[in-house]
Structures are given as C-alpha cells and as structure tokens.
Chain A
Amino acid sequence: MEANQQIKTTAVKGTDTARLVRAMVKNIYQSAHEAKANGQKVAYMMVASQYDEILRAMDIVPLPTENYAGLCAAKRDMDRFLLKAEADGYSQVLCSYARIGLGFDSLRKELGHIPEGSPDGGMPVPDMMLGSSAVCDPRFKWFQATSRFLAAPTFGMDVVAPPPQADLNEVRDYYIKYQRDQLLGLIEFLEKQTGKKMDKERLWEAIRLGDKAWQIWYDIDRLRVAVPSPMPSQDHFSIMVAGHYYSGTQIAVDFYQKLYDEVKYKVDNKIGVIADEKYRILYGGGLPPWHTLWIFNYFESFGAVFVIENVYRGFDPVEVPSHVKDPVDYLAWRAFLRFTRYHEKARAHSGNPIVEKLLGLIDDYKIDGVVFHACRSCRATTIGQTHIKSELGKYTSIPMMQLVSDMVDLRDYSEAQWKAQISAFIEALEGREKG
C-alpha cells in the first residue's frame, strides 16, 4: 500500500498563480489527445527553438517531449522509461530527457498503447517530430533516433549563434540569412504535412502575443529584485510553462498578467517567500532537479531563498529594427539578437556572456550565494559550468556551490550528500554574515 503512494518531490510554491500551472501542464497532453481525435496535427517539439509561433500560426498542437520527461521525474515515474531506453541500447550517459522520450515511445510501440498509468495520460503518437539544434545536439538527434521505430516525419532545424568573440557587425547578415533559410525550410515542411499554406498575418499575430507574454515575464523578473523576494525559483520552474509551451497564445499573456499583478502586490506590501529571509541565492545554472524540487524548500528552512535563476528563463526583450517587415525575417532577427544579448558586454569584460549575465544578476538581485546544478547527462548545461564558476570567482567573493545529480535520473542523486553540502554552504553564508 505504502509503496504505491507517490513520494513528495515537488516544492511548496511562493505564489498562488504558480499553483495554476499544474492544470496548464495537464492541458498540454490532454489537448494533444483531443487534437488527435479531431484530426488536428500534433508535433513533438523542443523548447526555445525559436519556432513556437509558427506552430501556433499553423494550428499545429505542440507536444513538448522534454517537459514530459520532467513531468515523469516530478511524479517519480521515470525509471520504466529510462530502463526501457537503456534496454534498447541507449547509453546511460545520453541525455536523460532523451532517454525518457525514447523509452516512452519504444514502450508505447511495444505495448501497442500508451503505457498504463503514464503521467497526465501520456503522449499520443505525433504526426511529426521537430528537432532543433538550439542549446544542444541531442535535441537534434533525439527525434532522428525515434524516427527509426516511429513512423512520423522528422525535421531538424538548425538554430545558430555566433561565438562571443565575433564582430557582430561583420557576421550579422550571414547568421540572419542562414536562420531565415532554416525557418523557411521548416515552414515548407509543415505546409507539406498539414496541406495548408502558412498565413503570414496569423504568424504576425502569434509573434505579437509571444513578445507580449515574454515582455510581461521579463517585467515580473525585474520585480523580483525586491527584498524580500516575492517569488522564488521553484515558482519560476513552474511558471516557465506558459512562456515556453504556450508561447504565441493569449493564454500565456493572461497568465503572466495575473502573475505580474500578484508579484507586484507582494512587492508593494513587502510580502516575502519566507518570513525571515536571511540569504538571497542565485540558481547559477544547470537544469533543475525535477526529481527533488522540494530541495528549494529545504534551503528555505535555513533562511535561504532562491530569488532568481539562470535556466529556462525567458530571453531578455530585444528590439528588432523597424525595417524588418516580414514575420519570418523578424523571427530570424529576434533569434540573433536574443542569442547575442551579452556578447558585447563579454568582449569588453570577462570574455564570457554567461559570466556577464550572472554578474548582472548578482548585482541587481543583491545575491549572497550562488548554487549550480551539474547534471550528469546534460552536457549542454554542465560542460563549462566549473569554468564559469571559477571565472565568476574572479569578480565576486560570495560563496558558490555545485550540486551534482541529474535533471531526471534519480540514480545520480544522493540526498545525504546534498544535505551535507547544503549545510556547509549555509555555514559559509553565515560565516560571511558575521564578517
């Protein structure tokens, strides 16, 4: 009896609005099932691939496979999918998001139906799979691997960004043209799959909604500079669902407006996440530990609140030049400007855009300490993390700590060791406080 009870993994939220996200997550998968039943097209997609608004403009229902992996971990129902992928021959060092996705798809095919009791009803068979090179290579290769046993057409879109040392004036046109060509290739693929031409006016409307939602999201994060913190990082890891999985919809705009109002109220009335905020922590990087999000509340029990984070954030607002009149051109320009947001600052200072971003957050948010999360199977967010941490140490003397586990694979997590490290980190913060 006891063994069947789900272990609590989630964190207590700081805002009421964040509690609405659970229903939004359920709706993602429910909508996909309903769309399939109604003959609407459903696409596996990757977060932050810069193509979200195109899917909305073409009435394609997005099915975020990475989010599903996180959901399985939060429900502590990931092992059967991870083990299936590994039994199929996928290495344990491969991205665990991908392993859950590959394992789920493989198990569904083997059973001939969605595995029983899958979180939120599971994912239906998609009509197409849209990979992307933004962030990392598994997001490009994952669906190619899935297509070996799942009969759904696959498109991999390249998403590019110049290195920080590049002269942006020199490379800008090349990057934007290449990105535009990639987007046009995707649109051609989608038109073929749906049998419909993309309506540029509808794309403009989705872009308008997408930009509006992300602007409000950015404004919320700016409110979070307040002391005491009105909204903690555990809320961020919920509320990002609107920006990343409902981008280009009125739902996301309305959600963020509601959240903005609540956070503003808390700031105006000095209502903090906890009654006695002693330490303000920056989540410096690495995917969140979806399997153990209550760890944020554990920090809070020592008076330490995660006030801001550097992962799954909305991109800072960018200004696309007014001469850009075509929506696809706009998306290419916007992607370029988003990815190069901290390049000039980096060239003038540390040489590293992430270090620049973190230094800005440390200053703006009055940060007392930084915690990184190294995920064994996420090369994109973990390789270079130690380097970033030591580079950061050249410009700030605040305590920093790197916890190690994985975003979804519990086998890489040790609760005893985390608690020991957290205790030592809190003592370092206390030692600093005493002067």
Chain B
Amino acid sequence: MPFAGIDIGSTMTKVVVVDDKEKMLASHIGPTGVEHRHLALKVMEDTIQKSGLQFENLNFIVATGYGRINVPFADKQITEITCHARGIRSLFPSVRIIIDIGGQDSKGIKLDAEGKVANFVMNDKCAAGTGRFLEVIAETLGINLVDMGEIALKANGFVQISNMCTVFAEHEVTSRLSEGAGVAEIVAGLHEAIAGRVVNMTRHLGIEKDVVVTGGGAKNVGLIKAIAGKVGFPVLTPPEPFITGALGAALVGKDFYDRGVRPAHERKREEVKFFS
C-alpha cells in the first residue's frame, strides 16, 4: 500500500514514497531549474524504481510545491504549508512552529496540539529571507553556497548587514569588503540578517517550543545557529530537510486514502505541462 509525494520547488524536485505504516521506502531529489523543469516525471520514476515498485502500485500521489499545479500524474494538489506540517509532525510529534526556508520563499507555520495548521505567514514578494538571497551573495563573495554555514561558524563576531534588499545587500557586502571586513564575519552577518527576518516574521504566530527549521536553509549550520540565537533556545532540524515537503505530501495522500478518498481521474504519465 505505497503512497508518493512530489514536491516541485523552485530549484529542486523531491519525491518520497512511503508505505501504509508511514515508513519511508525511497526518496530522490532532482533539479527543477529552467532547463530541467520537464524532468519532474523522471524524478518520480527514478524514486519509484529505487523503491522497487511500479507506478501502478501507488495508491495515491500528492503534488506540492510551487509547481504542484497541473502535474498530470498526481491525484491531488496540496500546498507546502499543509505538507510541511504533516511531514515535520511525523518526524517531530512535539513540533509547534515550523520555519521553512526555501529557495524562493520562506514561511512560518504554527501547529496546534493535534498537529493541524493553526496559522501561517509567508515572506513578501522579495528574495530577502530566502535561499536565493544567500545564493546571490555567495556569488558576489566568490564562495560556494554549501560552504557558507561552515564559514559563518568560523567568524569572530559578525558584520552588521542592514540592507535586506538583495540588490542593495550585494552593494553593502562589496563596500564592507573594501572596508577590510573579513569574509567569515560578513557571511555571519548575512546569516544574522536572514535569521532576524524569518524569526521576526514567525513571531507574528507566537513562537513556542519545539521549533523545527526545514527546507534548504536547514542545511546551513550557520543559519541554524543564528536562528537559535534569535529564538532564544535550540531549534531542531530534520535529518533530510529537503524532502520534508514531499514526505508530508506522501503522508497527506495516505490520510486521504485512509478516509476513503480515491484517485478521481486517470493518471497521465506525462511531463509536467505547467512549465512548458
């Protein structure tokens, strides 16, 4: 009785397959970038293959993420908010606040005691507070995005970055460099700025334990440290933060199935049309 969830994000497509005991059978991550967008079906098929199953074996498929619309092989589309909540709750039953830092946006989600979404906030139409912000600045600094967290941990203090507009922050970073500031201290300052922004946004929900950070941002140890500093207590991160949305999608599919919901239309094993 397997179920699949596919999370089509701005930079990556993630697929998770679970069984009816909610055990993860397989997961896979592939690129979503402009030239790869049509590959969502391939990521799906690769994951199914990894799990040793056939497409036809899947009882329910839920699509989530910003590319969830018009996924021809999905049985239902559900937002990332609901899917992250379901996925994270399955990993951390005590969670009350989720901070999702993705490539394109960031979100705060509050769960009630039963694990239902009680409230949520999303960042404005702006790259600040998202993975994209760090990506742009990493390019400016000539360092790898994946190394930024470790670099920040080596900093001796941090340089204040006051501008959260990505374009202006880029200028600010350049001028701090020319003033002689260290790269590690600048990177630490950037993490402080992002953490300040997402935590401040999440404060609208009322922060309470446990707080789980997920999405690509959760892979960044420097950012996690900065967020914990702002929150005032340690925050939790999933073992594989990229796939919690897809995991949640698979579990939401299982929930539907358990309630007697069945796929309403025939699945089409076609490429995702939304992006074409």
Q: Does B58 contact A (CB under 8 A)?
A: no
Contacts of A400 in B (CB 8 A): 119
CA distance A427 to B117 in the complex (A): 9
Q: A386-B204, A390-B204, A390-B206 in contact; A427/B122 too (CB < 8 A)?
A: no
Q: Given A420-B79, A423-B79, do A399 and B118 touch, yes or no (CB 8 Å)?
A: yes
Q: Which residues of A from 405 to 431 have beta carbons under 8 Å from B?
A: 414, 416-417, 420-421, 423-424, 427-428, 431
B125 to chain A, nearest CB (A): 4
Contact B79 A424 (CB under 8 A): yes
Q: Which residues of B contact A424 (CB under 8 A)?
A: 79-82, 117, 120
Q: Closest chain B residue to A431 by CB distance?
A: B116
Chain A residues whose CB sits within 8 angstroms of the CB of B80 once the complex forms = 424
What 1/0 flags go to B176-210 for Cβ under 8 Å of A?
00000000000000000000000000001010000
Task: Write out the residue numbers on chain B whose beta carbons fall within 8 Å of the beta carbon of A420.
Answer: 66, 79, 122
Chain A residues within 8 Å of B116, by CB: 428, 431-432
Q: Whole-angstrom distance from the CB of A5 to the nearest CB of chain B?
A: 26
In the complex, which residues of chain B have a beta carbon less than 8 angstroms from the beta carbon of A428? 81-82, 116-120
**Is A427 within 8 A of B82, CB to CB?**
yes
List the A side residues contacting B82 at CB < 8 Å. Answer: 424, 427-428, 431
Interface residue? B169 (CB, 8 A): no
Q: Does B124 contact A (CB under 8 A)?
A: yes
Tell me the smallest distance from the CB of B73 to a CB of chain A, in Å.
20
A404 within 8 A of B: yes
B122 and A417 contacting across the interface, CB-CB below 8 Å: yes
Do residues B119 and A399 form an inter-chain contact, with CB atoms below 8 A? yes
B138 on the A face (CB < 8 A): no
Q: What size tier do the contact residues of chain B reach?
A: 10 to 19
> Which residues does chain B contribute within 8 Å of A399, judged by CB atoms?
117-119
User: Chain B residue with minimal CB distance to A417?
Assistant: B125
Select one of A390, A402, A417, A427 contacting B78, CB under 8 A: A427
B59-88: which residues lie under 8 A (CB-CB) from chain A?
66, 78-82
In the assembled complex, the CB of A366 is this many whole angstroms from the nearest CB of chain B, namely 20
Which residues of chain A from 361 to 416 have a CB within 8 Å of any chain B CB? 386, 389-390, 393, 397, 399-402, 404, 414, 416
Q: State in angstroms the CA–CA spacing of A431 and B115 once bound together.
A: 10
In the assembled complex, the Cα of A423 lies from the Cα of B78 at a distance in Å of 8
Most buried by A among B66, B112, B125: B125
Q: How far is the CA of A420 from the CA of B125 in the complex (A)?
A: 12
- Chain B residues within an 8 Å CB radius of A404: 124
A225 and B77 alpha carbons, distance in the complex (Å): 33
Assembly CA distance A52 to B206 (angstroms): 43
A343 and B212 CA atoms in complex are apart in Å by 41
Contact assessment for A427 and B119 in the assembled complex, using a CB-CB cutoff below 8 Å: no
Interchain CA distance A420-B120 in the complex, whole Å: 12
CA distance A416 to B112 in the complex (A): 27
Docked complex Cα distance between A414 and B104 (Å): 14
A-contact 0/1 string along B119-150, CB 8 Å cutoff: 11110110000000000000000000000000
Alpha-carbon separation in the docked complex, A423 to B82 (Å)? 10
Residue ID in chain A nearest B121 by CB atoms: A402
For B79, the chain A residues whose CB sits under 8 A away are 420, 423-424, 427
Question: Contacts of A432 on B, CB cut-off 8 Å?
Answer: 116
Q: Can you list 10 A-B pairs with a CB-CB distance of less than 8 A?
A: A386-B204, A420-B79, A420-B122, A424-B120, A427-B78, A427-B117, A428-B118, A428-B119, A428-B120, A431-B117
Given A399-B118, A399-B119, A431-B116; 6 other pairs, CB 8 A cutoff: A390-B206, A393-B119, A400-B119, A427-B117, A428-B120, A431-B82
B residues engaging A (CB < 8 A)? 66, 78-82, 105, 112, 116-122, 124-125, 204, 206
